[in-house]
Structure 1
C-alpha cells in the first residue's frame, strides 16, 4: 500500500500510444491507500493512433481529483478504453477534473468506453464542471455504471453541460447508457402525510368525574402530617396537630391451612351506633354511650345536646 500524489502538468502515470500508431493503449493497475491527483496531472491509458484505448483500474481508500486532474482511457479514432474504480471511502472531484473514456473527434469515429465506479460517496461542486463521461463523436456513446450510497453535486445529463455532470452521449451518433445504483436509504421513503386539522385538546379530556343530577360529586382528599388540612374557609394556624396512629379493632378473622383449602371468616354482629350521650366512671373518665332499642343502655347517660 502506498500514497500517490502526482501534481502538476505532464505529471502522472501513462500507458499511451504515439500519434499515428495502430496499437492499443496499455493497462495500469493502482492499489494505494490514498490517491490524490492535482493541478493538471493524471493517469491515462490513451491511444493517440487508430487503436483502442487501454484499461485503467484503481483500488484506493480515498481518491481525489483536483484542479484539472484526470483519469482517462481515451481513443483518438478507435474504441474508448475501460476505467474501473473501487474506492473504499469517497471519490472527490474538484475544479474541472475529469474521468473519461471518450472516443473519436470531428475527424474520426469510435464508440465510447466503459466506466465502472463502486464507492460509498461521489462528491463534486456543481458549478466547477467536473465530469464523468463516456462520450463519443460519431459512434455510440459508452456505458457508465455507478454503485454508491449517494451522489452529491454531480448529476446525470443527456449531454455535457457547463456544470458537473455524468454523461454517456454521442454528438452525432447514438447515446450510451448511465446506470446508477444507490444502496443508501432514501429519507423521503416511509414518510407519511400528517393531517392538516389540529386536534382540540379539550375534547380529549374524559368527563367521567362529572357529577350527575341527584348524585354527589367525586372528591379527592389529601391528608398531610397530623390529619386533614384546614378548610379553605377557616383561618390558617401555625402548626398542625400531630397525632399517633390508632389501631382499629379487627372486624374479621381469616384462617387458612395447607391441608384444607377452606377459609373461616368471623364477622362482628355488633352494629355501630352513633353516641347520644356520655357518662363519667369512678375514675373520672368520660365514656360515650348510645341507646339500644327503645330503652337506654345506661340510664344515667347525659345527652350530647345538653
Structure 2
C-alpha cells in the first residue's frame, strides 16, 4: 500500500530507543519534513537513527499558526511526519489542532501504532484494564486539581494520570484525602534503567513518597483504582443537588425534587440530610 502526500502520526520511544518500530523508522526516513514538539530532542533521535530530514518546531504556542503552513506543504506534494518528545503525539502532547485542520481540509492523516506511556503503565499495574479513563495531567492549581478529582470520585473505571515529579506528592496527598485508602499505583521511568512500579493504598503512599525524595523523580504515570459500587450509596451529584435545593426549600420538598431529578430514593436522601444536620449540630424541624 502506497501512502503519500499525507500527515503521518509517528510515535517515538518513551525511554528505550529500541522500542521504535520498523515502520516508524521507514516513515521518518522517507518524509520531506518532520514537525516536532522540540526539534533538539527529535534531532537526537534522528541522529541515532542516522536519518537526515528537515525539522520544524510545532508546539502548544505555535500549532494553530503552523497548521496552515504544513497543510500547504502537504498539498504541494510533501509528506510530513508529526512527532512529540516521547510516545504517541496528541496524547497529552501537541497535534490536536493540526490533525483537526487536516481533517477539515481533506488532507489524509495516517496514524502509526507505537509507544504510549499510559497504556504501557496500565498493562503492568495490576489494576483492572477492561475499562479505564485517561485524564492526562491534572490542573496545576490546588483548587482546580481538587475539583477535578472530586468530579471523578465515583468513576467506575481505573483512572490514569500523568504527573510531574514536583507535584506527585501533593497530588497523591489530595487523592488520599478525597478518596481514602483506595489502591494506587505509581509507575516511574517506564522502559528506562530505573523503571519501577509501586502499589499501595493512597493513604499509605503519601508517607512512602514523603520518606524519600528519590521516589518522586522521573517521568510518572499515576493510576487509581475505580470506585467500588455501593448499592446503598447515593450519587455525589444527587447529594450536591440536594444541598443546593435545601438552601431555598424545606427538606422534604428538596428531597422529593432531587429524587425525581436523579432517580434515587427520596427517603434515602431525607435520611442523609438529617444525618448531615446532626453532624453539624443543627437538625431541622419538620
TM-score bracket, normalised by the shorter chain, equals: under 0.3
Larger strand share, 1 or 2: 1
Bigger relative contact order (CA 8 A; separation at least 6): 2
TM-score for both structures, normalised by structure 2: 0.20
Larger helix share, 1 or 2: 2
TM-score for both structures, normalised by structure 1: 0.19
